Copies of this chain bind each other. A is one copy, B any other.
Amino acid sequence: MAGRRKLSGVREVRPDEYVITSEPRPKGRAERFWRSLRAVALGPAIPSSAEKHERLNTATGLAILGADNIASSVYGPEEMMRALAMAGTGALFLATPLGAAIVGMLVILAISYQQTIRAYPSGAGGYIVATANLGALVGLVCAAALMIDYSLDVAVSIASGIQSVTSAVAGLAGGRLPLAFGVLALLTLANLRGIRTSGFVFAVPIYVYILAALGVLALGFAHWAMGSLPPYEPPPAAAQELSSASAGIGLFLVLRAFASGAVALTGVEAVSNGVPYFKPPEADRARRTLILMAIVFSMLFLGISILGAQLKVVADPTEVETVISQLARTLMGVGPYYYVLQGATFLLLVLAADTGFADFPRLLSLLAQDNVLPEQFAFRGRRLAFGNGIVLVAILAAMVMFIFHASVSGLVPLFAIGAFTTFTLSQAGMALHWWRHQEPRWQLRLAINAFGALVTAATLLVEVVGKFTEGAWLVLVIMPLLVLALKATGGHIKRTRRAVAVRSATHVDGQFHHHVLIPVSELNKAVLHAIAYTSSLCNTHPSRHCRRGVPDVQAVYVTDQEKQAEELRDKWDKLDPGVPLLILESPYRALVPTVLRYIDELQAEHEDQETIVTVLLPETVPRHWWQQFLHNTIPLQLKGALLFRKGTAVTSVPYQVSG
């Protein structure tokens, strides 16, 4: 192109192909300010090429992919003991067998997921496994379950994290909800900034927590062995609760306690989802990490349950102090060790919430790629983050935290259903996978996954029955609705894509009749500009000349006053702007409907041929955007009315006022 003045940040790589790395010229002070604000809040843009995947070894793999599962050892045993305490301290002895059952369950899950790693070495979550093996509908059920699971994961982890803080500083308990919202806001912002947390950042709090918690447990068991366990002093509210404990020990109590404790199993699937993030040999490292995670989790869960039962520790009904805090306080006293443990616990739980922030948008982007959700969920923003998904999970988590006042024991009954639905469907899908593929030793593999599916299905049933009245019913209502919504959305998107798809070289017929209307309220420079615009579309010089090329251009004036119409007609004839003036008298002063009615008329005129009517709106653009409100709102109303109308197009032709 001749005479081009090069601007920075635009590079022609080949004909008709440019790389553009700079931002457009800001339109004014307001936009410049807004851009600086965005840069400060969300950071500079990150190019796609800068995306890097840190490859994980077993230690960082445990930290990043195991955070969610390990973190649930904080609230899992606690919720189990809370359920038992309803029958008094006498029921606490059940913590040991129930803890063992949950650890047994984890072993089954770990073995099952070993098989998923083998079958999908490039990584696969429940949605992919279920869709591939059980069909699209079951895949959507799995997706809905995961969406609920991830949202609740964020909410529960943050709520439990705040409890770790109030354990150490009881005075903060009154501000639980604002604190939780503060953490949520920070996490949202960090994720929108596209901050990639390195394995090292994850590793520090998780290993500090593991070591410190195991230290407390070791000391406790040592004291127990020597018969020197210190006396336990429950939080005041817990003591009261116990004295009024009324439930008897029955099957239902045991089921409910198991259902509460099983919540801790959420997050087990993370390692098998993340196989490709490991250093080669990926599958081997992933399997090793899964085994390591199962061992650490089992030690923590069992240790806390058994020692807690021995000390007769009671979950605080006001949710100010956690069970881990009570154990550490009783065995170690409140000192530096205690504070390091609480701090690490808090950070661990925040990182666990962060995994929900990563997984939810990634799931939504998969759904968008599969045309189940609108494509904006697959769009990565200027900071490489799936902005829409991040904002959505933040809103959902904020809603449930608000409804349940950031109470862990209020949220837990809702939590496990999503996770166990996914487990069941994913394992069932794996079983079918082996049946279909019949690789060496497929019978054993099928048996393992089928058993896994059976056990998780049974647990799902326990969750539903045991927690039904406590909130599980809500999930049972929402999940089917969510599935229906996903199905409807996906159906619509796929139908639309099919309807507009072009496969052959047969073009859409361009033979339509074209009519241009320019609504005017007076004859001013903006109108003349719009008229000049129609002429320039044909690139022939004098505007008078072009009008013959463009068949039907009319200026339209709507009025209820004949006198005003005559005045405009006189002015129009005198100044002769080059297009005819059409006057529409509307006795009802209805500008927009009258123009629409006239368009109906134009389109009815040529029945044999499609008539496209372009409404050309001369818009006076003030110097400042807020001044727009001081002008006529008619163009906006017309745009709104024509938005979804067949056979019409709307063009805004802005005329910049210099004065």
Contacts and interface: CB of A to CB of B under 8 A. Distances in A.
A528 B511 CA distance: 12
Interface in A572-621: 574-578, 580-590, 593-594, 596-601, 604-607, 612, 614, 620-621
A630 B627 CA distance: 32
B375 A632 contact: yes
Given A20-B594, A380-B589, A600-B7, A646 B654 contact: yes
A18 B598 contact: yes
Contact of A496 (B381, B575, B622): B622
Interface residues of A, number: 135
Contacts of A13: 585
Nearest to A532: B510
Contact of A651 (B5, B526, B598, B651): B651
Contacts of A631: 374, 496
Contact of A659 (B1, B374, B499, B605): B499
A524 B510 contact: no
Contacts of A581: 16
A584 B512 CA distance: 31
Contact of A583 (B16, B607, B649): B16
A585 B21 CA distance: 8
Nearest to A19: B585
A501 interface: yes
A509 interface: yes
Contacts of A362: none
As for how many copies of this chain the complex holds, the number is: 2
Interface string A644-659: 1111111111111111
A502 interface: yes
Nearest to A633: B376
A504 B127 CA distance: 70
Interface stretch (A22-30, A86-94, A162-170, A174-182): A22-30
Nearest to A499: B659
B374 A632 contact: yes
Contacts of A541: 511
Contacts of A604: 4-5, 7
A17 interface: yes
B560 A536 contact: no
Contacts of A542: 510
A382 interface: yes
A538 interface: yes
A49 B587 contact: yes
A502 B514 contact: no
B645 A27 contact: yes
Contacts of A380: 589
Nearest to A618: B500
A607 B508 CA distance: 37
Contacts of A524: 497, 500-502
A600 B9 CA distance: 11
A172 interface: no
Contact of A648 (B46, B381, B489, B654): B654
A596 B35 CA distance: 15
Interface string A354-397: 00000000000000000000111001111010000000000000
Contacts of A650: 651-652
Contacts of A652: 643, 649-651
Interface in A408-450: none
Contact of A500 (B492, B504, B620): B620
A21 B589 CA distance: 10
B657 A500 contact: yes
B16 A580 contact: yes
Interface stretch (A141-149, A319-327, A543-551): A543-551
B382 A590 contact: yes
A4 to B, nearest CB: 5
Interface in A552-575: 554, 560-561, 565, 574-575
Interface of A: 1, 3-5, 7, 9-10, 13, 16-25, 27, 45-49, 374-376, 379-382, 384, 489, 492-493, 495-502, 504-505, 507-512, 514, 523-526, 528-529, 531-533, 535-543, 549-551, 554, 560-561, 565, 574-578, 580-590, 593-594, 596-601, 604-607, 612, 614, 620-622, 625, 627-633, 643-659
11 contacts: A3-B606, A4-B604, A7-B601, A10-B601, A17-B583, A24-B596, A24-B600, A374-B633, A510-B536, A537-B537, A614-B651
Given A500-B525, A508-B525, A508-B528, 5 more contacts: A20-B594, A496-B659, A511-B541, A514-B537, A643-B652
